[in-house]
Amino acid sequence: MARIHPDAIGICARLRERGRHGWIVGGCVRDLLLGKKVNDWDVATDARPDEVMRMFPRVVPTGIDHGTVSVIIHGVPYEVTTLRGETTYSDGRRPDSVVFVDDISADLARRDFTVNAIAIEPLVPEFIDPWEGRKDLDARVLRAVGDPVERFSEDGLRVLRAARFAATLECNIEPATLAAIAPTLATYRKVSAERVRDEWVKTMKARKPSIAFEVMLDTGILGVTLPEMIDAVGCEQNRHHAFDVWKHSMACLDACEGDPPLRIAALLHDVGKPRTRQRSEKTGDFTFYDHENVGAEMAGPILERLRFSNEERERIVTLVQNHLVCYSDDWSDAAVRRWVRRVTRERVQDLYALNRADVLGKGRNVTPDLEALEKLKTRVAGVLAAKDALSVRELRVDGNDVMRELGIKPSRRVGEVLEVLLERVVEEPTLNDRETLLAMIRSYDGSKG
């Protein structure tokens, strides 16, 4: 009780002053019981939305049609929602109508899982736990409230939330709840791509996101959302790997330390392998030539389908395309510069993390590759410290210089000339001198006639 935010308690106190009740509800109660940090506090009340609007000086009607308003205290929004019971879900996404009720137990009965159907009345204080969510939380069991088929048929996203909670809470899904997922996938198919994406992002914050994706695979969720990954299951790899492509991808995902887009890149990094697998006639082993480029081509449409932003798509696709780092001691300094140029300075740290996870995900013979990665880091650090030109914008000339020296107008040729100059400079950094580059531009013009 001492860890409940004073402002959340203050909202409940104001409601009590006006003859109403307030309860702390939802995920914040679950996280409070788990000893986790709580960022968002939600309040349920038997006051109607118009009453709440009159009780507080700053209120925003964020979801007033469904009984929710946001009370702003010290600049922080607190969702305050009127107790409600819900009718049918014709679209599998939201209730057809909302019926306000006065009983907190009736409100908790409409929630998805028992661990999310716990309320605290802080002024008493008292726990309201009609579905024994605390018991399930202690046992690390995820159980639907009431009939799981009914719960999942109401809101299709709940099956994906089950997979997500299995990972974030590191718990087992109760057998009847797990068995209800496959029969209700028709409702899941109605869920918007944006809501699916948001659940993926939350899943990627788990210690082991693979738990969720294994649930998705076993229940059929993955076949709906990411059918491109199904071929990875049982796709045998070469002798350097202990796992098939699916198990390797899951191990890589868990080992990848970073933000959600980076971990999504880890999930998808080998999505192109099943389509490129061939058996070598010489060695009898499997090869996956060009799988990184095929995977990048596949990743783009997947991410677009799931409504990731342009910036996120660009980042993830770039990582998938460049995840295969084959460093060796015979790389010249120019080769190191070319690698950094290709992957860009901005993606170097991402690729270190992804490559490390990729190596650990092999499950065998990882030490030589990890040592090679450390050597590459040292070489790249030297290149970056030298501040050599690794992109067109770092050249001592620009497009205006090219157009003036060649007497041409803006065109594709301007970019081609700058790329040629950059290739020369990457090979020999001392060439990045303005007068030298201007002379090279004039020479390029002569060579082209």
Residue-wise pLDDT for 323-335, tens only, equals 999 899 999 999 9
Q: Is the pLDDT of residue 239 over 90?
A: no
Question: Residue 201: what pLDDT?
Answer: 97
Tokens of 85: 């019971």
What pLDDT shows up at residue 2? 85
In this prediction, residue 447 carries a pLDDT of 47
> Looking at the domain 231-386, which fold is it?
Hypothetical protein af1432 (1.10.3210)
Rounded Cα distance, 323 and 255, in Å: 14
Residue 444 is predicted with a pLDDT of 79
In this prediction, residue 449 carries a pLDDT of 36
Q: Where are the domains of the chain?
A: 6-136, 140-225, 231-386, 392-448
Q: What does the mean pLDDT of the chain come to? A: 94
Is residue 112 within 8 A of residue 158, CB to CB? The reply is yes
pLDDT in tens, 363-420: 999 999 999 999 999 999 999 999 999 999 999 999 999 999 999 999 999 999 999 9
> Does residue 297 register a pLDDT over 60?
yes
Q: Rg of the chain over CA atoms, in angstroms?
A: 28
pLDDT at position 259 is: 96
Average pLDDT of span 285-311: 96
Degrees, nearest 5: CA angle 304-308-312? 110
For domain 140-225, give the fold: Hydrophobic Seed Protein (1.10.110)
CA 143 to CA 179: how far, in whole Å?
Answer: 11
The sign one gets for the Cα dihedral 123, 124, 127, 129 is: negative
- Position 240 scores a pLDDT of 87
**Confidence band, pLDDT 50/70/90 cuts, at residue 448:** very low
Residue 150 has pLDDT above 50, yes or no: yes
- CA 102, 104, 109, 111 dihedral sign is positive
Q: What's the whole-number mean pLDDT along residues 29-44?
A: 94
**pLDDT band at residue 65 using 50, 70 and 90 as cut-offs:** confident
pLDDT at 1: 80
Residue 323's contacts (CB-CB under 8 Å, 6 or more residues apart) are 265, 269, 292, 351, 354, 355, 358
Query: Is omega for the bond preceding 125 within 30 degrees of 0, making it cis?
Result: yes
User: Each residue of 186-236: pLDDT tens digit?
Assistant: 999 999 999 999 999 999 999 999 999 999 999 999 999 999 999 999 999
The pLDDT, as a whole number, for residue 384 is 92
Instruction: Check residue 66 and give its pLDDT.
Output: 86
- pLDDT for 446: 42
Rounded CA gap, 283 and 275, in Å? 20
Give the fold, CATH level 3, of 6-136.
Beta Polymerase; domain 2 (3.30.460)
Look up residue 399 and give its amino acid.
Answer: G
The pLDDT tens digits of the residues spanning 76-120 come to 999 999 999 866 666 656 666 688 999 999 999 999 999 999 999
Is the pTM above the cut of 0.75?
yes
Q: Is the pLDDT of residue 138 over 60?
A: yes
